[in-house]
Amino acid sequence: QVQLQESGPGLVKPSETLSLTCTVSGGSITNYDWSWIRQPPGKGLEWIGYFYGGGATKYNPSLRSRVTMSINTSENQLSLRLSSVTAADTAVYYCARLSMGYDDTGFYHFFEDWGQGTLVTVSS
Amino acid sequence: ENVLTQSPGTLSLSPGERATLSCRTSQSVSNRLLTWYQQKPGQAPRVLIYGGSTRATGIPDRFSGGGSGTVFTLTISRLEPDDFAVYYCQQYGNPLTFGGGTKVEIK
């Protein structure tokens, strides 16, 4: 089990870019696949995108034009950038490790390890 | 986008009772691609069931998942005090989507 810790500014102004970092410990970031998921206060979960260990990315179409995910292998960190933010982007942002593959019963896919989350508020 | 609708929104039950939570999808989903999570206040979600019916590591056998097509269920056979929380279903698709959640509260 790896440990994940999100960090970044808790307050971002409208129209600016939200930047968060997820520091991974207990394993090499390139050995796993990752996601960012967010949760507006009091609401449900929204998947933002994947960063696969091989370097490929896949984003939620609803956010694709504004999202960039990347990794820093020397720091073992995953990063999220979300541009042109509005109040609707106010949420707790989680990074999560994806567990995906095949077992005796077939394909599986789930988010196995999660960070504690970090609240980002978009406000002037 | 595959929309997941969870019902009921809130389930009020007593410890020891059986809880049955429903997750309906707008498009058919392989049960292998359906996952259930539990979330407690101030905490990140925790995986309970993946592949529709496989309990994740450390999850007690009072939790079970089932269903197929567009209707899936999470059953908690006998509620323990630690089980009162919000439960989310999630499907693996493009895009990946979550249900709106069912809150299981103490009656």
**Tens of pLDDT along B47-74?**
999 999 999 999 999 999 999 999 999 9
Comparing CB atoms, the residue among A60, A107, A115 nearest residue B95 is: A60
Cβ distance of A47 and B96 shorter than 8 Å: yes
Q: Tell me, what's the pLDDT at B99? A: 98
Comparing CB atoms, the residue among A44, A114, A117 nearest residue B101 is: A44
Residue A20: partners with Cβ closer than 8 Å, 6 or more residues away:
A6, A7, A8, A36, A79, A80, A93, A95, A118, A120
pLDDT per position as a tens digit, B38-47: 999 999 999 9
Q: Does A114 touch chain B (CB under 8 A)?
A: yes
Q: Tell me, what's the pLDDT at A76? A: 96
pLDDT of B82 above 90: yes
Cβ distance of B50 and A47 shorter than 8 Å: no
Q: What is the mean pLDDT of residues A65-83?
A: 97
- Chain B contact probe: residue of A110, A111, A118, A119 with most B CBs at under 10 A: A110
To the nearest whole number, what is the mean pLDDT of chain B? 96
Q: Tell me, what's the pLDDT at A54? A: 85
HEC sequence for chain A: CCEEEEECCCEECCCCCEEEEEEEECCCHHHCEEEEEEECCCCCCEEEEEECCCCCEEECCCCCCCEEEEEECCCCEEEEEECCCCHHHCEEEEEEEEEEEEECCEEEEEEEEECCCEEEEECC
Cβ distance of B54 and A108 shorter than 8 Å: yes
Strands A18-25 and B4-7: unpaired
pLDDT per position as a tens digit, B25-37: 999 999 899 999 9
Give percent of chain A above pLDDT 90. 92
Q: What is the mean pLDDT of residues A29-33?
A: 94
Confidence band (pLDDT; 50, 70, 90) for A103?
confident
The alpha-carbon gap from A60 to the nearest alpha carbon of chain B, in Å, equals 6
Looking from the CA of B12 toward its CB, the CA atoms found within 13 Å total 1
CA B3 to chain centre: 15
Residue B5: partners with Cβ closer than 8 Å, 6 or more residues away:
B23, B24, B25, B26, B99, B100
Q: Tell me, what's the pLDDT at A104? A: 87
Q: Tell me, what's the pLDDT at A105? A: 84
- Chain B contact probe: residue of A45, A48, A116 with most B CBs at under 10 A: A45
Confidence band (pLDDT; 50, 70, 90) for A1?
confident
Cβ distance of B47 and A94 shorter than 8 Å: no
Q: What is the mean pLDDT of residues B11-35?
A: 96
Answer for the pair A39, A45: CB distance below 8 angstroms, yes or no: yes
Cβ distance of A105 and B54 shorter than 8 Å: yes
Comparing CB atoms, the residue among A44, A103, A114 nearest residue B44 is: A114
Tokens 């790896």 found at: A2
Q: Does A1 touch chain B (CB under 8 A)?
A: no
The alpha-carbon gap from B91 to the nearest alpha carbon of chain A, in Å, equals 9
Spatial separation of the C-alpha atoms in residues B65 and B19, rounded to whole Å: 12
- The closest alpha carbon to B104, from B5, B18, B3, belongs to B18
Comparing CB atoms, the residue among A44, A58, A105 nearest residue B98 is: A44
Q: What is the mean pLDDT of residues B8-21?
A: 98
Spatial separation of the C-alpha atoms in residues B36 and B50, rounded to whole Å: 6
Conformation bin of residue A39: beta by default, left when phi > 0, alpha when psi is -120 to 50? beta
